[in-house]
Amino acid sequence: MSSVTSLSLPYLNRELSWLDFNARVLEEALDERVPLLERLKFMSIFSTNLDEFYMVRVAGLRRKVTAGTKQYAPDPLAPDEQLDAIRTRVRELIARRRRCLKGELFPALARHDICLVSMDSLSEDERDRVNAFFESQVFPVLTPLAVDPGHPFPYISNLSLSLAVDIKDPVTGKDHFARVKVPKSLPRWVPIGRAHCYVPLEEVIGTRLGALFPGMEVVRWYTFRITRYSDLDLGQMDQPEDLLETIEQQVFQRRFGEVVRLEVQKDMPERIRQLLLEELSESETQLVAPLGPQDVHDIDDLLEMGDLMQLAMLDVPELRDPPHVPQVPPAFKDTRNIFDAIREHDVLVHHPYESFSGSVEAFLDAAANDPHVLAIKLTLYRTSGDTAIVRALTDAAEAGKQVAVLIELQARFDEANNITFARTMESFGIHVAYGLPGLKTHAKTVLVVRRDPDGIRRYVHIGTGNYNSKTARLYTDMGLFTCHPELGADLSDLFNSLTGVSRQKFYRRLAVAPVTLRAKMLELIDRETAHARAGKGGRIIAKMNALVDPEIIAALYRASQAGVQVDLVVRGICCLLPGLKGVSDHIRVVSIIGRFLEHSRLSCFANAGNPEYYIGSADWMPRNFDRRVEVLTPIEDVALHKGLDAVLATCLADNRQAWELNADGQYRRREPGPGAETKATQQILIKEPWGTAAARPPKRKKKGSV
């Protein structure tokens, strides 16, 4: 193939590629080199990932099938074909999860006296303890709901664990069905008195159902759980007059989304399955076909395995990863003023290897308390609950500074939190905006305006990750601190477009989606292609979470055909197929899975010996280029390039945490060869956040005001 276009190119299906990513997460639970409780953590993450996949992606495909939507090129599979392939793949993954949990994790945990036990195995004292807990804590919360002509089938909330109870009236001999919800407000794992030994809450309830149905014979009970469509439908609506109120309504309505999956205890009788299927298939929206047997997942024992995270957090240090204490970035150590440090030279930070609190939070705290700071502007996509960032913003507003926050109300599954943050900040006098119509604001930017001795200067932070102290300890991200005049001016223009009315089309240094980012990325790829064709070599290295965009993939294929060496570090979805002769034989794709979630977006373009480096908030997906506000910034201080090179080289050399995508579309885990040194990216960067080649940049001459 001499050339490819975005409509006729080798392209892996997005949904199946995502399932491959989640399979790699599950492999961490199977890997005996991973500490035991960390393996349990990965089992939990795999399960919650799968829940979200059904709530959003599978639900969306079911709607497409009902609407008769056809798949667009270059994806080879129609929506109904995707659903069939997903069912087959998920059955395989659930079977692997079952074998891992029952055959490996639970027996291994039991050898360390960490166990889940049944009520039947308890001693008399242990049973008395659990029964006392049921009487005092559980029984008052339970609500038995019968299903008969006088009692309609109850509403069942998304992802809630329930008991389907088979009851017989000993007087009439009549069978009855009832549902009992397992309350999320109570601990899932009930302690029995032995350290780290628990009974699942559903079993505690199941063995005491007689207390809920006195005078009746409880024949048997079975667990089940449903998954509902949980995305927002703003795209189907006219432009709302009040976005905050509309999002609140949508979040409420999401509770009643159509059911897209039914998980049941494997030995549940057919008549109870059919009852559940019939009742749960009724939908007021009529947007999807009724549930069928193909939408029922048989689960051996435990349902709702996301709760295994509670066990994974047990304080048993020998079964956990060694504690990691992030380093304070050298530029911000023992500095009397963080603004002085940024004026001396640009600063790159690398989380969680370098401290979020000692950099980003310190920057905002300094801005809030510095009498010379006049204004703070920030984009907020996801943040944590009791956050130092929100406190710093409210402190700044109370101190009389101008504070403006663009808060994204449509951050999936964080909508309710962001509504609360928005109202809290407004109550402190912060100017809160909700972004541009039809676009999510996904950019990670802070702009601080300060009156320095030599004039007004703008200090900025541009990052790859959210302003969230919790995820900053778990996700790998990068951020740039600078007072470069043109970057400051660009961010001023961006914030003006977000909070005001503007059709900003020009940016000096930043690439901004949806205005210039796609064109910039294609320009950079095409420039490498031209260099290769001219005999000047060509090299692209890029790290991201997902690669989906057909136009970008076609450009990378053309670059490969011209001889450009392309290395991609893609954690999750990758629709590009590397290693195809004559198409992508110069492209290599690796995915790194480890204790931290790889989240940073970083790219390097060799540019015939004058390399350019960029970090930003966008993955290479259509939504990031076309339907979101994203920011990509160049890293222009050449002294910082050495560290970026070292990070990329470390990722590409990984033979412990890396999986390589092959031309057959399959991922294979890299292993060190006989006698070879083990190279695990995250373990290396914990010791040296920028790799062994990193060096502190020299001081830069002060720049004038803007």
Instruction: Name the E strands within 28-141.
Output: 115-116
Note the pTM of the prediction, 2 decimals: 0.92
Return d(Cα 252, Cα 118) in angstroms, integer: 37
Question: Angle at CA 697, nearest 5°, toward 696 and 699?
Answer: 120
330-499: CATH topology: Endonuclease; Chain A (3.30.870)
Question: Angle at CA 448, nearest 5°, toward 445 and 454?
Answer: 140
Distances from the Cα of 330 to the Cαs of 348, 350, 403, in angstroms? 10, 12, 29
Was domain 34-319 assigned CATH 3.30.1840.10?
yes
Q: How far is CA 178 from the centre of its chain?
A: 37
Least Cα distance to 614 among 694, 538, 544, 533 occurs for 544
Q: Which amino acid is at 330?
A: P
Task: Name the helix (H) or strand (E) containing 613.
Answer: strand 612-616
Q: Where are the domains of the chain?
A: 34-319, 330-499, 511-687
Residue 608: left if φ>0, alpha if ψ -120 to 50, beta else—which one? left
385-411: b (≥16 Cβ within 10 Å) or e: eebbbbebbbbbbeeebebbbbbbbbb
pLDDT mean for each 10 residues of the chain (706 residues) = 63 96 97 97 96 92 87 86 96 95 95 95 96 96 85 87 94 92 95 95 96 94 92 53 60 74 93 91 66 89 92 96 94 88 96 96 96 95 74 94 87 66 84 81 96 97 94 96 97 91 86 97 98 97 98 98 98 98 97 97 97 98 95 97 96 96 97 92 95 45 35
Question: Angle at CA 471, nearest 5°, toward 470 and 476?
Answer: 140
Least Cα distance to 16 among 97, 94, 88, 100 occurs for 88
State in words which class domain 511-687 has.
alpha beta
Helices (H), 352-451: 362-369, 388-398, 415-427
Q: 34-319 with 330-499: one CATH topology?
A: no
| Burial class for 325, CB neighbours closer than 10 Å (0-12, 13-18, 19+) | exposed
Least Cα distance to 225 among 311, 295, 140, 143 occurs for 295
Task: Name the helix (H) or strand (E) containing 227.
Answer: strand 217-228
Tokens matching residue 169? 């009236």
Active-site annotation, residues: 442
Q: Name, in order, each residue with C-beta under 8 angstroms of 270's C-beta and a sequence gap of 6 or more.
A: none
Q: How many other C-beta atoms can be found within 10 angstroms of the C-beta atom of residue 701?
A: 7
Is there a contact between 676 and 656 (Cβ–Cβ < 8 Å)? Answer: no
Distances from the Cα of 129 to the Cαs of 115, 190, 202, 207, in angstroms? 17, 10, 16, 14
For 471, the 3-state DSSP assignment is helix
pLDDT score for 455 = 96
Q: Name, in order, each residue with C-beta under 8 angstroms of 390's C-beta and a sequence gap of 6 or more.
A: 383, 421, 424, 425
pLDDT score for 691 = 82
Angle between helices 243-253 and 415-427 (to 10 degrees): 150
